[in-house]
Amino acid sequence: MHDIESSVQGFTAELDPGEPSTSTSAGPDEVVATHVLVPVEQVERLRTLARKSRIAQSEYLREAVDDLLRKYDAAAK
């Protein structure tokens, strides 16, 4: 598998991951763009799934984030 960390050497995040977003106007139904690095194999598989199911990749990614947040919210309790 491709080593992601070696691919992003020299990359510097502009925001501290622990800091809240600088946008205070976003409501619960608004969306914001974000940038993530994903291994090529996962991108290809997600693209194939989206084409076959006719469900947008972004929908699958939002679902994955929701699942991850639920997982860690449950673990924190």
Read off the tokens for 6.
């070696």
Indicate the number of domains in the chain: 1
Q: Is residue 67 part of a domain?
A: yes
Q: Calculate helix-pair angle for 40-53, 57-76, nearest 10 degrees.
A: 110
Domain assignment present for residue 14? The answer is: no
Indicate whether 56 belongs to any domain: yes
Q: Which two tokens stand for residue 60?
A: 């699958």
- 52 within some domain: yes
Element (H, E) at 42: helix 40-53
Around Cβ 76, how many Cβ atoms within 10 Å? 6
What whole-number distance in Å separates Cα of residue 5 and Cα of residue 11? 10
pTM for the structure as a whole: 0.61
Tell me if 5 is assigned to some domain: no
Q: What is the pLDDT of residues 5-45, one digit of tens each?
A: 444 444 344 444 555 555 556 677 898 999 999 999 999 99
Asked whether residue 70 is domain-assigned, the answer is yes
Residue ranges making up the domain that contains 72:
37-77
What was the pLDDT predicted at 28? 72
